[in-house]
Amino acid sequence: MAGRKTTKQPTSWSVVEAKAHLDEVIDEAEDAGPQRLVKNGDQLGVLVPTEAWVDKRRRKGTLVEFLDNSPLPGLDVDFERHPDTQEREIHW
């Protein structure tokens, strides 16, 4: 499928089409971003450049920083264990 339009949204490729045009699917992932792989109408996966995958998986900050930036410190939240189970109840 030469001449596919490059877009910001992932382009969908059937598995058969992706196999037949793997070089193009890879080029599109590098140039236009993620490319969806579809099988029988269901999304099977997404092909993304390695740099994008590594960047997405990179941890952004610590748990402490996340909690400090969350709205929870300003809320009056009381966590209690239910006396008969190990489940926690949250009271707002």
pLDDT of residue 7: 45
CATH of 11-91, one of 1.10.1020.10, 3.30.70.580, 3.40.1620.10, 3.30.70.2190: 3.40.1620.10
CB 17 within 8 A of CB 41: no
Tell if the pTM clears 0.75, that is, is over it.
no
- Any idea which residue has 């792989």 for tokens? 37
pLDDT of residue 24: 94
Weakly modelled stretches of the chain, pLDDT under 50: 1-7
pLDDT of residue 91: 57
Radius of gyration of the chain (CA): 22
Reduced DSSP (H G I as helix, E B as strand, rest coil) percent helix, strand, coil of the chain, to 5: 40, 25, 35
Q: Sign of the CA dihedral 61, 64, 65, 66?
A: positive
User: For the chain, which residues make up each domain, given as ranges?
Assistant: 11-91
